[in-house]
Homo-oligomer: A and B are copies of this chain.
Amino acid sequence: MSLQLSLGARVRKSPFFDACCKAGLAAASVYNHMYMPTSYGDPVAEYERLVNGVAMWDVAVERQVALKGPDALALARILTPRNLDGLQIGQGKYVPICNYQGYLINDPVLLQIDDYEIWLSIADSDIGLWASAVAGTLGLDVTVFEPDVSPLAVQGPKAVEVVAALFGDWVRDLRYFGFRLTEIDGIPVVVARSGWSKQGGFELYLRDGRRGTDLWNIVAAAGAPFGIGPGSPNYIERVESGLISYGADTDVFTTPFEMGLGRFIDLTQPVEFIGKKALIALKEAGVRRRFVGLKIDGPAFERPSENRYDVLFNGANAGFVSAAAYSPRIGSNIAVAMVLVAAIEAGTGVDVITNDGVRHATIVDLPFC
């Protein structure tokens, strides 16, 4: 199915939108009420740049939810089951967020900007509404708002060279999710070692939406010697790497335990975070299904899947595939899927109802590579 994307004022354009168009943007989706670039028309080159070179991505859709005020940290502790003891300015943390039933409603990266300000770099749901409802109802002394911040990702094995050329060698010493507030050519940014790939890289959080094209051009120029080119969060690489796409891989009953995020959930801390009681019960009950990899038999898929695929075990529904594609690095069709534990433990694989017919699949651990 081929559809044109309607553009209008309800969905926002990123500060990098004009630069992306100039770079040949061909397709987009919508994420956090903003257009998200998804293709520049050459998926093979985009994948190659990410895996073997360096790519730049407009990921302004990773909107920030700022918690600012004396109770910022108190609110953050209530919002996530992760233990935030020892949180440091300059070191981000991946913080699953659950509702009162213990189900995942987002999985942001948390950045403490200063003593009274925390940002959540969010996936695709309105966590600003969630957080401000909690803050308001509890009467906390904190303001919740969306700051003027838009990440530009530089991803791939050569990303570090590009970012070091721009900012200096100190970026090489940043730990994963480490970050620093700085500027370049008068453009305020956060330089963070992060990004939605496993190819290494950085995210430059633009802190002045008027300077999107300027920052894009600066990165493009610094990356030119390394063959930088435009790209976007990559469908195939994310499956290979087993990265979670909130909303695609999850449904309204997905728990952090099913997603393999149990190590981020501290049920013994004294904090009365949201979902604690439910998560204790869910952990006690054990998981019924798990997020796993699949190697799918048969000829290579011609393009990434557009729909969820049903997973069958002994003819009965046993879950769903949320993304499937042919992986050049694995040399096989691969997928990420939510599958019943009973089917996983049987060890005989599952069937997947693909657009190309029913295919047998072997269950494997994530990541693929």
Report which A residues bind B (CB closer than 8 A).
Answer: 1-11, 13, 21, 25-31, 33, 35, 38-39, 99-100, 105, 124-127, 129-130, 132-138, 145-146, 235, 245-249, 252, 274, 304-308, 322-323
Contacts and interface: CB of A to CB of B under 8 A. Distances in A.
Contacts of A252: 145-146
B4 A39 contact: yes
9 closest Cβ pairs, A-B complex: A100-B136, A30-B30, A133-B133, A126-B126, A10-B248, A4-B27, A5-B5, A6-B38, A137-B137
A361 to B, nearest CB: 17
Contacts of A30: 11, 29-30
Which has the most chain B C-beta neighbours within 10 Å: A3, A13, A39, A136?
Answer: A3
A267 B38 CA distance: 46
Given A1-B21, A5-B28, A9-B322, 13 more contacts: A3-B26, A3-B27, A4-B4, A4-B5, A4-B28, A5-B27, A5-B29, A6-B38, A8-B304, A10-B245, A29-B30, A133-B134, A145-B252
B126 A125 contact: yes
A61 to B, nearest CB: 11
A149 B4 CA distance: 26
B3 A25 contact: yes
25 contacts: A1-B7, A3-B7, A4-B4, A4-B27, A4-B28, A5-B27, A6-B27, A6-B39, A7-B29, A8-B235, A8-B306, A8-B323, A9-B245, A9-B249, A9-B322, A9-B323, A10-B246, A10-B247, A33-B125, A99-B136, A100-B136, A126-B130, A129-B130, A133-B134, A137-B137
